[in-house]
Amino acid sequence: MKISNADRAHVLTHALPYIQKYNNKILVIKYGGSAMINDSLKQSVMSDIILLSLIGIKVVLVHGGGPEINNMLEQIGKKSEFVDGLRVTDKDTAEVVQMVLAGKVNKTLVSLIQSKGGKAIGLSGADGHMIEARAKSPKLGFVGEITKINVQPILDTISMGYIPVVSTVGCDNDGNVYNINADTVAASIAGALKAESLISMTDIAGILKDKNDPSSLITRIYTEDAPELIERGIISGGMIPKFKCSIDAIEQGVRKVFIIDGRIPHSIIIEVLTDEGIGTMLVNGEKYRKTHPDAEEHITY
């Protein structure tokens, strides 16, 4: 389809208010799901990130890498075991996780951003004790829960004009390295940075009233309504911990959390720079209504 110069100008003009709103603000993106596996989607995500960076948005990219870890463990003949959705991580597995996340996956993403004309620096949670952690449970081994986020390495990287690309491993004072859930890391970093927004890329359209009906997408959820939605089963399964850490991020000062479908090309740009957006937005209802007088006092889900 051929797009006229007038159409291009209209698109750019339409995006101007959103560019102004996000200019010089921090946007944390949790990158995962199909967008990490599908090459064309990966290309579009990196292009989106570079574009946002070039228009003055301070992008922080936080990534996991479960499929890559699975592949490496299979190659060395080590079987993966999961408890409550978390990978049981013994000492050997922890070393593989660190190698894959902080090495292969992280540096591949950095290289891809740079190949497209962006500037990026790869960081792991162990760099500068950025993510301090302790064992979450003895039965999980070296699966960590975060005890402290030190944002200075991220801020230093941004101040030098680079996009921080953060792998989700943490450390303790004894030199142990921990595998940490990527959603938890992204939310904790966003909260510590007081980010304008956190975008979580998933393989679903967002939160649906009816999981079998894509047209039942809930576009906005107030944090205070989340417990009721969990009780009713509208928020369920793996989305529950994602929502809980997203609420923690908002309570720490993040203004908005977006759960978007990473399977759609340029979904980040659609969310950040258009009226319609995409996916589900999570906000503190009281604060949101103060800045949006026409917003509903109570949303009927």
- HSE-CB of 61 using CA atoms within 13 angstroms: 32
The reported pLDDT for the residue numbered 18 is 83
**What number is the average pLDDT over the span 135-157?**
94
User: pLDDT for 85-136, tens place per residue?
Assistant: 778 888 888 899 899 999 999 999 999 999 999 999 999 999 999 999 999 9
**Residue 103, Cα to own-chain centre: how many angstroms?**
19
What residue numbers bound the domain in which 214 lies?
23-291
Q: Other C-beta atoms within 10 Å of 217: how many?
A: 17
Please tell me whether residue 200 adopts helix, strand or coil conformation: strand
301 is a domain residue: no
296 is a domain residue: no
Look up residue 143 and give its DSSP letter: B
13 is a domain residue: no
How many angstroms separate the Cα of 192 from the Cα of each of 71, 115, 154, 266?
32, 30, 11, 27
The reported pLDDT for the residue numbered 2 is 64
Q: 61, 55, 156: which is closest to 112 by C-alpha?
A: 61
* Summary mean pLDDT of the chain: 90
- Asked if residue 160 lies in contact with residue 221, where contact means CB atoms within 8 angstroms, the answer is no
104 is a domain residue: yes
How many angstroms separate the CA atoms of 60 and 44, rounded?
16
85 is a domain residue: yes
The reported pLDDT for the residue numbered 7 is 65
**What number is the average pLDDT over the span 128-146?**
93
CATH of the domain at 256: 3.40.1160.10
The reported pLDDT for the residue numbered 132 is 96
297 is a domain residue: no
**What number is the average pLDDT over the span 216-224?**
93
18 is a domain residue: no
Q: Please give the tally of structural domains in the chain.
A: 1
Q: Residues 286, 290, 295, 299: what is their CA dihedral angle, to the nearest 10 degrees?
A: 10
Residue 1's pLDDT band (boundaries 50, 70, 90)?
A: low
Q: Which long-range contacts (C-beta less than 8 Å, at least 24 apart) are formed by 16-23?
A: 18/272, 18/273, 18/274, 19/55, 19/56, 19/273, 22/52, 22/55, 22/56, 22/57, 22/196, 22/197, 22/272, 23/55, 23/56, 23/57
User: pLDDT for 29-78, tens place per residue?
Assistant: 999 888 888 899 999 999 999 999 999 999 999 998 888 888 898 888 88
User: 119 Cβ partners below 8 Å, 6+ apart?
Assistant: 53, 113, 161, 162, 163
Residue 3's pLDDT band (boundaries 50, 70, 90)?
A: low
